[in-house]
Every structure is written in C-alpha cells, then in structure tokens.
Amino acid sequence: MKNDKITESPVEFFGKWAEIGKDIGMEEGHASSVKFMINKLLENNNSKFTIIDAGCGNGWVTRLLSSIENCDYSAGVDGAKQMIEKAKSVDPNGNYFYGDLTEWSPLEKVDIVHSMEVFYYFEDPMFVLSKIYNNWLKNKGKLIFGIDHYSENLTTLNWPAECGVYMNTKSIFEWETILKKVGFNNIKKWQVGAKNDWNGTLVFYCDK
C-alpha cells in the first residue's frame, strides 16, 4: 500500500527515538505482547535454544530472552545505529549487531527468530522473511513475530501519515499468504490484547 507524506525511513525515525529516549515507551507499550510470544515459545518446550530478535531496538527483548534458563544464546540485530549503541551501553557483554535485515545474516543459524513491530516497515517483507527462513533459521526452526499495523486494526491505518514513515499495510490473510509462500508451515495466529476499537497485536507463530 502506498503511503503519502513519507518524510524519512524507519531507520532514521527510530534512530531519533533512541536519541531522545522515546525507545523506553516502545518497551512499555509492547511488553504484554512480547510476554505472550515468549510464553508461546516456552509452552511445552524444555529444550535449550538459541534465538535472534530481529529489529531489536534498544535490546530489551534480547536481554529478557537471555535471562531465560533454557536460552543458550540470545542476540539482537537492528538497522538503527543509535539503537544498537544504546543496547551496548546498557549491556556491554550482550550480542547486538548493527545491520540491515535485508542484508545481514548470523554466523550460525538459530532455533528461533523473534520480532516485534518490524516487518511492515519493509516494502518487500517476503524478501526479508525468505532471508530469515533460508539464512537465519535451522531446519525445524521457529519464527514468532508481532505487528500492530495491519488492515483490520483500523486505528493504526493513519500511522504512516502521522509518523511520516513508510508502512506496508497488509491484511491478516495477506501476511499468512506470504508466510506460506516463503515455506513456513504449522502457522498459528492470534490477535493479542484486542479491546474496544483496538484489534490487538497480530502474532504469527510458525515452523520452518
């Protein structure tokens, strides 16, 4: 979907947020959805795992994941340099990488990729998801991600104009179709925290 009044890239936009401390609000606003996703990952799973947070921002989810007993390795990657600098300033020994998600790949594949509020900022999310599928995830790996901006969540449709940032507005069906085309299977979905005129965070959980 074409957005009008685009003034800057998402990387520039969120880089500025890191500079003025607005990234803290992202953590507060997304905490309940991220908690839901982590609970789904841990449900009936006592095995050790490695995980990457795609679009990690200031690294709060990466740090949260690393605190889980069964987590052998947790890393975060983000395209906003200021966010990665902030993550490293908070957690100097953590694994934080500055890189464009369309180009970056880990040295070793992982069991799980997590992401919150990232994929609709790409003009071609299928390309990014294909890269994750092929270059990031081990065989039988899992992807779990949440997005707030989607066609059915009507109160978010004015965000691109309000923020001046490109957002790829797709329906639940369109997102699920992309995942299937990439090759993911056992696709599950939820709308977390839906109430009143807010249709919730759209969460997808699927297997490679």
Query: What is the CB neighbour count within 10 angstroms for residue 183?
Result: 13
Tokens for 197? 């005129």
Q: Extract the tokens encoding 96.
A: 């934080």
Output DSSP code: residue 94.
S
**pLDDT tier at 18, thresholds 50, 70, 90:** very low
* Segment 176-187, tens digit of pLDDT: 999 999 999 999
Residue with tokens 């999310």: 125
Domains of the chain, CATH where assigned: 10-207 (3.40.50.150)
Q: How many helices (H) and strands (E) does the chain have?
A: 7, 7
Q: At residue 94, what is the residue type?
A: G
Q: What percent of the chain has pLDDT over 90?
A: 78
Tokens representing residue 92 in the block: 């100097």
Question: Average pLDDT over the chain, rounded to whole?
Answer: 89
What SS3 class is residue 83? helix
Give pLDDT, residue 19.
45
List the single range of 19-23, 115-119, 162-166, 194-198 with lowest mean pLDDT: 19-23
Instruction: Specify whether the CB–CB gap between 82 and 102 falls below 8 A.
Output: no
Residue 20 pLDDT > 60, yes or no? no
Residues 99, 201, 138: CA angle, nearest 5 degrees: 45
Strands 201-207, 185-192: pairing is antiparallel
Strands 71-78 and 95-98: parallel
Considering only CA atoms, which of 84, 78, 155, 81 is closest in space to residue 121? 78
In tens, the pLDDT along 23-54 reads 554 555 678 999 999 999 999 888 999 999 99
Residue 8 has a pLDDT of 56
pLDDT bin (cut points 50, 70, 90) of residue 1 is very low
- What pTM did the predictor assign? 0.89
Regarding predicted confidence, which is higher, 20 or 118? Answer: 118
Residue 59 has pLDDT above 60, yes or no: yes
